């Protein structure tokens, strides 16, 4: 039996250059989300004091991610033609400048002026974040495709670490000197990270030269499995951003907690995200991203609903129960998010995309654009739903959507298993061996061996003819008789 190439290698297999790239990108993820996350617990109550309504607060968060959605699509194309290292640097620099300016919001007059200035600065942050996120994912996927899941999990861990330390740091600095200090100090730190990364990676050949054929969104986004994954991303991010926008207000109304007290819930949730992240990577390695998404969607739905809880459940929540539900919610959320890019990456290789910066820029853009659109829909749809139905019913609706996603992915896993079971010795393979562990490991269903009357030459001839037809028709996959079928 020929030895199969398995891309999910340990990070210890990285060479020095790859380790430097991963370390720099991880630190930048930490700094970006340290700055981005501080605003969630600190802005809502400050905005209320400045005369903004809850609907306007939701609008600020929704518009921010709407711009990030558009920026991700644009930057997904631009990364094909420019240097992703420079796009990464300018994205981080723009976010840091916007954070410094947000620190001055305390002195902006109340009312419409405060709303317009806040909205403008958050939009600027979103543009910088989209530039950073798309280029960072493209670099990681292109440079470390053999360690894709572990590398992405590392960056996600540093992102969550930013979530963890942002609330206590932001709350501590806020208690020392008010609203301005957290944003100005952390924005300055992020700017230092930006210039430091440019210096460290200056000699690394992270170039943006791609073939002109790379970087097309179609036909990838039309594949049914990619559409399912995008729908999952949309629902998961929408629910998450709704919590980010209204969690502080709900905890204030429910328990009378101040912003710094609510910040500890964010910290506990982010810690849960980090601790479970690499567990889900292992589960993906043993099963598949589709199986992980199905499991985690159910987990998200159940624990998301209990943060309300739904009115038909006679449960009086206590603070420790609130902590528990949020911690379990983020534990499943980490697995659901980590599985998205490997799943789409495998589908891209099935579609005939080359494994380069252009393709991975498109994959990154698809993920971030869909995620950002969910971030728009979460506050935008959640605001009127909360106003008309209340917080408990709103979180129950988002939870039900996640459970529905789980059912869809269970159906996908069963369908793929049945399909493999009825291919009569032929199996659908990706255009790269690297996609074997990111897209189609699944459950090992029994394989039906071909007729012994069919000679090896006949099978080889049939395979060659199939590949020729697949190429001429721009097919999404090709068939090959497995070399180990008789072993």
Rounded average pLDDT over 101-121 = 91
pLDDT of 275: 86
pLDDT confidence tier of residue 263, bands split at 50, 70 and 90 = confident
Rounded average pLDDT over 458-476 = 47
Report the DSSP beta bridge partners of residue 427.
Answer: 480
CA pair distance 168, 160, nearest whole angstrom:
14
How far is residue 386 from each of residues 237, 307, 377, 378, 383, measured CA to CA in Å? 17, 14, 13, 11, 5
pLDDT confidence tier of residue 44, bands split at 50, 70 and 90 = confident
pLDDT of 408: 95
Q: How does pLDDT run across 332-351, given as a tens digit for each residue?
A: 999 998 899 889 988 888 87
Angle between helices 319-338 and 148-177 (to 10 degrees): 140
Report the DSSP beta bridge partners of residue 480.
Answer: 427
Window from 85-99, 161-175, 451-465 with minimum mean pLDDT = 451-465
pLDDT of 204: 58
pLDDT of 294: 95
pLDDT confidence tier of residue 127, bands split at 50, 70 and 90 = very high
pLDDT of 114: 92
What residues contact residue 7 under an 8 Å CB cut-off, 6+ apart?
145, 146, 147, 148, 433, 434, 436, 437, 438
**What mean pLDDT is reported for the chain?**
78
Q: How does pLDDT run across 353-406, given as a tens digit for each residue?
A: 877 777 877 888 888 888 888 877 887 788 788 888 888 899 999 999 999 999
pLDDT of 185: 92
pLDDT of 215: 53
């Amino acid at each position: 039996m020929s030895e199969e190439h398995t891309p999910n290698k340990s990070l210890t297999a990285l060479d020095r250059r790859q380790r430097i790239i991963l370390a720099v990108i991880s630190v930048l993820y930490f700094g970006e989300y340290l700055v981005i996350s501080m605003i969630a617990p600190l802005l809502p109550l400050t905005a209320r004091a400045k005369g903004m309504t809850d609907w306007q607060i939701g609008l600020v968060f929704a518009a921010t991610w709407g711009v990030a959605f558009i920026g991700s699509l644009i930057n997904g194309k631009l990364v094909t033609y420019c240097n992703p290292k420079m796009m990464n640097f300018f994205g981080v620099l723009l976010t840091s400048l916007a954070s410094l300016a947000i620190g001055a919001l305390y002195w902006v007059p109340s009312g419409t002026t405060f709303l317009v200035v806040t909205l403008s600065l958050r939009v600027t942050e979103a543009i910088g974040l989209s530039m950073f996120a798309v280029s960072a994912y493209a670099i990681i996927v292109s440079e470390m495709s053999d360690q894709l899941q572990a590398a992405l999990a590392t960056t996600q861990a540093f992102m969550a670490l930013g979530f963890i330390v942002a609330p206590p740091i932001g709350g501590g600095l806020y208690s020392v000197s008010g609203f301005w200090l957290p944003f100005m100090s952390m924005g300055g730190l992020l700017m230092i990270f930006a210039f430091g990364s440019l210096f460290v990676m200056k000699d690394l050949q992270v170039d943006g030269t791609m073939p002109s054929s790379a970087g097309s969104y179609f036909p990838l986004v039309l594949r049914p499995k990619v559409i399912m994954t995008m729908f999952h991303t949309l629902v998961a991010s929408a629910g998450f951003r709704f919590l980010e926008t209204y969690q502080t207000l709900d905890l204030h109304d429910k328990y009378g907690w101040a912003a710094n007290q609510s910040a500890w819930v964010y910290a506990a949730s982010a810690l849960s995200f980090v601790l479970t992240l690499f567990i889900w990577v292992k589960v993906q390695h043993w099963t598949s991203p589709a199986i992980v998404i199905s499991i985690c969607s159910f987990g998200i739905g159940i624990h998301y609903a209990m943060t309300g809880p739904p009115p038909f459940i006679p449960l009086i929540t206590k603070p420790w129960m609130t902590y528990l539900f949020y911690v379990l919610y983020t534990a499943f959320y980490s697995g659901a998010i980590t599985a998205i890019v490997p799943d789409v990456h495998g589908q891209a290789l099935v579609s005939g995309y080359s494994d380069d910066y252009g393709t991975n820029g498109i994959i990154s853009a698809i993920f971030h654009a869909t995620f950002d659109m969910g971030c728009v829909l979460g506050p935008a749809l959640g605001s009127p739903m909360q106003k008309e139905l209340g917080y408990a019913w709103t979180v129950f609706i988002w939870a039900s959507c996640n459970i529905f996603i789980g059912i869809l992915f269970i159906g996908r896993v069963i369908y793929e298993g049945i399909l493999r079971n009825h291919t009569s010795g032929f199996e659908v393979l990706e255009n790269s061996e690297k996609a074997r562990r990111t897209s189609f490991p699944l459950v090992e269903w029994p394989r039906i061996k071909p007729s012994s009357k069919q000679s090896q030459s006949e099978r080889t001839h049939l395979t060659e003819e199939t590949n020729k037809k697949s190429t001429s028709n721009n097919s999404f996959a090709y068939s090959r008789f497995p070399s180990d079928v008789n072993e």
